[in-house]
Amino acid sequence: MARSTSPNLTVSDPSPTEVSSRSFALNLLISLRPGQWTKNLLVFAGLIFGSKLFDAASVGAAVEAFAIFCALSGVVYLLNDVADRKSDRQHPYKKHRPIAAGALDVGAALTAGALLGAASLGAAFALSGRFGVVATGYLGLQALYSAQLKHVVIVDVLIIAIGFVLRAVAGAVAIDVAISHWLFVCTILLALFIALAKRRHELMLLAEGATSHRPILDEYSPYLLDQMIAVVTASTLIAYIFYTISPETQEKFGTPWLGLTIPFPLYGIFRYLYLVHRREGGGNPADLLLNDRPLLVCVALWAIAVALVIYGPFGA
């Protein structure tokens, strides 16, 4: 595979003039961070693993759920940027965000966030009462994270991981399929892996200025984070392996061949670790996925392999 550098090191930042010259609508859109909405693809996990991929009504509901969570995550990013605007100005990359740079007024950002949040939750309850409850819980938890919980050691990364779990749960609830305990285990472990790698990247990137930007980083050290990452890495891989070979899974999908997909998570996680430790990546997981070709190919091949096993000639 070709070697690629981290996008965090190669993307050029806009000048202060460029930031201030943007329109209000463009600054608001940038603050909603559409580039991060790939995280909401977890909403489709229930569609794929619930054997509903070719059910038109379920596909439509899943797409609507995805759009709602993209809007909700945009609201969360607005709240987070408002709360962190002072510390973001000390960060080499985040200082260019519209709110931190002063290009997007705090009052306007909060008003836009409130309107978008209300509209999104209204759409969530219109889709399904249970989905609306999960969406409300997601937004409330993320608001608590932005306000206080991100300052509590270990709890901060757990809240990030639970946010990913709620995305997956919301996707299952939206199409009314059973929520497997494997969904919780695999999702929270993988999300913890990503969150811990992000903390490590921040700690190494900011060095002496880390705690002035994010005080919670004073509670971590590279060694501690490496130990946590090692535990979570092993746990994630073991959980996925046991999921693919469990009798419950084989009975559900009518095939013993889901284990054929194991090499893809193995390579993907090892590739991610390589980028974190050797390429100084991990600060922006969404950008890392989209800009590192080997990692992107690995995820795409894993998705194709899973679909072929569940829905193709190997499946029931």
pLDDT tens for each residue of 221-253: 999 999 999 999 999 999 999 999 999 999 989
Mean per-residue pLDDT of the chain:
88
pLDDT of 209 reads 60
Confidence of residue 210 (pLDDT cuts 50, 70, 90): low
Burial profile 6-19: b = 16 or more Cβ within 10 angstroms, e = fewer: bbbeeeeeeeeeeb
Listed range (59-73, 106-120, 203-217, 231-245) with the worst mean pLDDT: 203-217
Question: Residue 22: its pLDDT value, please?
Answer: 82
pLDDT at residue 11 in the model: 40
Scan for tokens 């993307």, then name that residue. Answer: 11
Question: Average pLDDT for residues 90-97, to the nearest whole number?
Answer: 83
Which pLDDT belongs to residue 5?
39
pLDDT reported for residue 15: 55
Residue that is written with structure tokens 């945009």 in the block = 74
DSSP 3-state percent helix, strand, coil across the chain (nearest 5) = 80, 0, 20
Closest alpha carbon to 173 in 200, 148, 201, 136:
136
Q: In this model, does residue 6 exceed pLDDT 50?
A: no
- Global pTM reads 0.86
